[in-house]
Structure 1
Amino acid sequence: MKMIAGLGNPGAEYAQTKHNVGFMLVDALAAYLGAGTWREDFSAYIAEVRIGSEKVFLVKPQTYMNSSGESLGPMLSYYKMDCSDLIVVHDDMDIPAGTTRIRKKGGSGGHNGIKSIIAHTGSENFVRVRIGIGRPPAGWTVIHHVLAPFSAEDAAHIRAAIDFLLPAVTCIVQEGADLAMNRYNPQRKKNQKQEGRHEAEQETSSAAAPE
């Protein structure tokens, strides 16, 4: 079994806010995978799907973001699931809006929802799917930023990011985080090296060409 948990805040007033991109992706996954009815348990909304041979729980904790672990910790324990079976989708201010990153494990990065999960599971060994929301504009607090809706431009980037991540998340479940990171994470350093080599080859070719 696997668990895909999107982080966010419950209530209609938060539904379209930046902090709720985790809920947005899990809702999109439910539609993409043909999930059945949502049920309430473990202070969360839960739907079940199959990805290949895996039974997968789609989970939206209803404890508010900063207490996400209060829902996910007991659920993992009840179903005797290891933290390595957990995939958490959450917002990330440290990357631009609509940018995505898959990370196999690690610390909280200052994200309170991730802090809560680590505190209630005692482990950092779970996959994170990060969706960028960008930094607060000048004069805005972090709270104001994460609890505000996206601009029209950024909303389009987020929709594209969610569409991009649907096969990425199913890849994590079926083929593992390492392959998914290699396939779906940006390859900037590799591309920059290739561009550098290409430029060097052009310079060498230009220098060798007759005038």
Structure 2
Amino acid sequence: MKCIIGLGNPGPKFEDTRHNIGFMVIDELLRRHNWKLDKEKYKGQHTVERLGGEKVMLLKPLTYMNLSGEAIRPLMEYYDLDPEDIVVIYDDLDLPPGKVRLRQKGGHGGHNGIRSTIDQLDTKEFPRIRIGVGRPSGPMPVPDYVLGKFQGEDKAAAEESIQKAADACEAWMEKGFLEVMNEFNK
């Protein structure tokens, strides 16, 4: 089984914010395949389905972003998943809006959701999809920026990146992550 994890914050207050772009990719995959998150366990909503002959779990942690790993680790243990069987999707301030980068492993880069995941899994070696949200221009504090909604050109770029990240997740059901990474990072 493979597991696609979108990071975000639960609740209507945070819908469609930059920090919730991981949730938006999960929503896009659910929409494409007419699936629903029908299980709630270990601080997360998830579903287990079949895609391309492979069992796949889609997961949205119900913790807030900074505690994401608390929902990921118990479900990985329950379903006996290894770190290479997951992909974590999250927002990245260091990439421009619309840019999508796949990585096989790495540090947290200051992202608290990834920091929590690394701490809970006790490894940095898990695949991830970083989606650019850019940095605030001017004096806006970063927390206010990531909890804000996409506007104008950034909104169109975000919608494109959500589609591309969902495409990458679907490709991963049929190919190795390294092959998908090489294809989508061009």
TM bin, normalised by shorter chain, reads over 0.9
- 1:100: how far off? 0.5
Task: Name the residue aligned to 2:161.
Answer: 161
- 1:33: how far off? 2.5
- 1:37: how far off? 4.8
Q: State TM-score, norm by structure 1.
A: 0.85
Task: Name the residue aligned to 2:35.
Answer: 35
Task: Name the residue aligned to 1:176.
Answer: 176
Q: Tell me the distance in 1 between the aligned counterparts of 2:28 and 2:120.
A: 27
Q: Which amino acid aligns with 1:96?
A: P
Q: Tell me the distance in 2 between the aligned counterparts of 1:47 and 1:79.
A: 12
Q: Which amino acid aligns with 1:174?
A: E
Task: Name the residue aligned to 2:65.
Answer: 65
Task: Name the residue aligned to 1:52.
Answer: 52
Q: Tell me the distance in 1 between the aligned counterparts of 2:93 and 2:37.
A: 32
Structure number having the greater helix percentage: 1
Deviation string 1:101-139 (CA, Å, 9 cap, x unpaired) is: 011111111110000001011111111111100011211
Task: Name the residue aligned to 2:102.
Answer: 102
- 1:80: how far off? 1.2
Determine helix, strand or coil for the equivalent of 1:47: strand
Deviation string 1:1-45 (CA, Å, 9 cap, x unpaired) is: 011000000010100110000000011011113324522111111
Contact 1:83–1:126 under 8 Å retained in 2: yes
Bigger relative CO (Cα 8 Å, ≥ 6 apart): 2
Deviation string 1:51-91 (CA, Å, 9 cap, x unpaired) is: 22211110000100000000001111111110110100000
Task: Name the residue aligned to 1:81.
Answer: 81
Determine helix, strand or coil for the equivalent of 1:175: coil
Q: CA RMSD for the aligned pairs?
A: 1.1
Q: Tell me the distance in 2 between the aligned counterparts of 1:118 and 1:17.
A: 23
Unaligned runs of 5+ in 1: 187-211
Q: Which runs of 4+ in 1 moved over 4 A?
A: none
Instruction: State the identity as a percent.
Output: 42
- 1:160: how far off? 1.1
Q: Tell me the distance in 2 between the aligned counterparts of 1:33 and 1:105.
A: 28
Q: Which amino acid aligns with 2:128?
A: R
Q: Tell me the distance in 2 between the aligned counterparts of 1:122 and 1:37.
A: 27
Q: Within the alignment, does 1:22 sit opposite 2:22 as a pair?
A: yes
**Which of these two proteins has the greater Rg computed from alpha carbons?**
1
Q: Tell me the distance in 2 between the aligned counterparts of 1:145 and 1:162.
A: 19
Q: Tell me the distance in 2 between the aligned counterparts of 1:15 and 1:36.
A: 17
- 1:23 to 1:37, Cα distance in 2 relative to 1, 3 A: closer
- 1:161: how far off? 1.2
- 1:146: how far off? 0.5
Aligned length: 186
